[in-house]
Chain A
Amino acid sequence: MQSQEEIQDFCRRYFQAVKAPLLQDEPAYLQVELPRDVDKELIDRPWHWMMVETIYKDIPNTVKHLIFQQDLQREDMERPEYLTFGSLFLSKMIDSTKKRGSCTCGYQQGAMLTGTTLVPVLMITCKLSLIADRCRDEIVSYGVHLLTGEVYHDFYERVEGLTFTPQPSQLVQVETAKLSMQQGFTKIRDQVHSEIQAMNHTWAIDAQDNLSREREQLETYYQSLGLVNADTQLPDEEKAAKATLFQAELRLRLEELEWRCAPRVKIEPFQFALLYLSETVLRGANVSRERFVQ
Chain B
Amino acid sequence: MEKTGFQPRIEWTDALFEQFQVRMETNEWATWDLFRLAYEAERTRVVPNFDQLICLQQLPEVTPYPHQLETAKKVLNELHGRAILADEVGLGKTIEAGLILKEYLIRGLVQKVLILVPSSLVIQWVRELNDKFKISAQKQKNSYSWTDYEIVVSSIDTVKRDPHREIVLKQEYDIVIVDEAHKLKNKKSKNYEMVNSLRKKYLLLLTATPVQNDMKELYNLITLLKPGQLGSQNDYSSMFMETKRTPKNRVELKKALSDVMIRNKRSEGGITFTKRNVQSILLDMYPEETELYEHVTEFIKEQYRKLREEGKGNFLQLITLQRQICSSPYAALVSLKNMKDSEKTPPEVRGRVEELHAMAEKIPAYKKIDKLIELLQTMDDKVIIFTEYRATQDFILYMLQQHGIRAVIFRGGFKRNKKDWMTELFKNRFQVLVATEAGGEGINLQFCNQLINFDLPWNPMRLEQRIGRVHRLGQQRDVHIYNLSTRGTIEEHIVSLLEEKIQMFEMVIGELDLILGNLKVGRKLDNEMMDLFMRNASRDEMKTKLDELGEEMVRVSDVVR
Contacts and interface: CB of A to CB of B under 8 A. Distances in A.
Contacts, number: 212
B32 interface: yes
B144 interface: no
B23 to A, nearest CB: 5
A97 B37 contact: yes
A217 B226 contact: yes
Contacts of A127: 42, 45-46
A205 interface: yes
A44 to B, nearest CB: 9
B1 A252 contact: no
Interface in A106-158: 106, 125, 127, 129-131, 133-139, 156
Contact of B6 (A208, A217, A274): A208
A103 B29 contact: yes
Given A88-B134, A133-B80, A139-B43, A101 B37 contact: yes
B286 interface: no
A139 B10 contact: no
Residue among B27, B36, B82, B200 having the largest count of chain A Cβ atoms under 10 Å: B36
A105 interface: yes
B34 A100 contact: yes
A261 B37 contact: no
A210 B80 contact: yes
Contacts of A104: 29-32, 34-35
Nearest to B130: A88
Residue among A106, A137, A201, A217 having the largest count of chain B Cβ atoms under 10 Å: A137
Nearest to B58: A86
Contacts of B196: 249
B227 A166 contact: no
A265 B12 CA distance: 9
A221 B11 contact: no
B47 A85 contact: no
A221 B228 contact: yes
A87 interface: yes
Given A208-B1, A269-B17, A272-B17, A88 B7 contact: no
A263 B48 contact: no
A243 interface: no
Interface string A50-94: 000000000000000000000000000000000011111000001
B6 A105 contact: no
Interface stretch (B49-57, B86-94, B154-162, B366-374): B49-57
B367 to A, nearest CB: 53
B39 A271 contact: yes
B7 A102 contact: no
Contacts of B41: 10, 94, 97-98, 101
Given A13-B33, A185-B17, A267-B11, A138 B46 contact: yes
Contacts of A160: 36
Contacts of B40: 10
B147 interface: no
A105 B29 contact: yes
Contacts of A272: 16-17, 20
A225 interface: yes
Interface stretch (A189-197, A233-241, A279-287): A189-197
A259 interface: yes
Given A193-B10, A201-B6, A268-B13, A134 B34 contact: no
A136 B11 contact: no
Given A17-B31, A98-B38, A201-B8, A136 B48 contact: yes
B561 interface: no
Nearest to B49: A136
Interface in A210-244: 210, 214, 217-218, 220-222, 224-225, 228
Contacts of A217: 226-229
Nearest to B9: A264
B9 A253 contact: no
Interface in A245-266: 249, 252-253, 255-256, 259-266
B34 A256 contact: no
A23 interface: no
A1 B35 CA distance: 17
A267 B201 CA distance: 21
Interface string B68-84: 00000000110011100
A94 B39 CA distance: 10
Interface string A7-35: 00010011011100000000000000000
A204 B34 contact: no
A43 interface: no
B27 to A, nearest CB: 8
Nearest to A87: B134
Contacts of A253: 227
Nearest to A221: B228
B442 to A, nearest CB: 27
B544 interface: no
A202 to B, nearest CB: 9
A222 B42 CA distance: 44
A263 B8 CA distance: 6
A264 B80 contact: no
Contacts of B35: 101, 104, 271, 273
Interface string A163-204: 111100000000000000110010001000100110001011
B6 A98 contact: no
Contacts of A10: 37, 40-41
B277 interface: no
A63 to B, nearest CB: 22
A125 B37 contact: no
Contacts of A204: 6-8
B12 A267 contact: yes
B402 interface: no
Given A94-B41, A103-B19, A217-B227, A166 B30 contact: no
A274 B229 CA distance: 54
A128 to B, nearest CB: 10
Nearest to B40: A10
Nearest to A270: B42
Residue among A163, A164, A261 having the largest count of chain B Cβ atoms under 10 Å: A164
Contact of A252 (B20, B199, B232): B199
A218 B35 CA distance: 48
A250 to B, nearest CB: 9
Given A17-B31, A101-B41, A260 B81 contact: yes
21 contacts: A85-B60, A86-B57, A86-B58, A88-B136, A94-B41, A106-B32, A134-B50, A137-B47, A138-B46, A164-B32, A181-B24, A185-B17, A196-B8, A217-B226, A224-B232, A224-B234, A260-B81, A260-B202, A266-B12, A270-B38, A271-B35
8 tightest A-B CB contacts, nearest first: A101-B38, A221-B228, A86-B58, A272-B20, A224-B232, A264-B9, A217-B228, A204-B8
Interface of A: 1, 10, 13-14, 16-18, 84-88, 94, 97-98, 100-106, 125, 127, 129-131, 133-139, 156, 160, 163-166, 181-182, 185, 189, 193, 196-197, 201, 203-205, 208, 210, 214, 217-218, 220-222, 224-225, 228, 249, 252-253, 255-256, 259-274
Given A136-B49, A224-B234, 11 more contacts: A10-B37, A101-B37, A106-B29, A106-B32, A135-B108, A135-B109, A139-B42, A164-B32, A181-B21, A181-B24, A263-B9
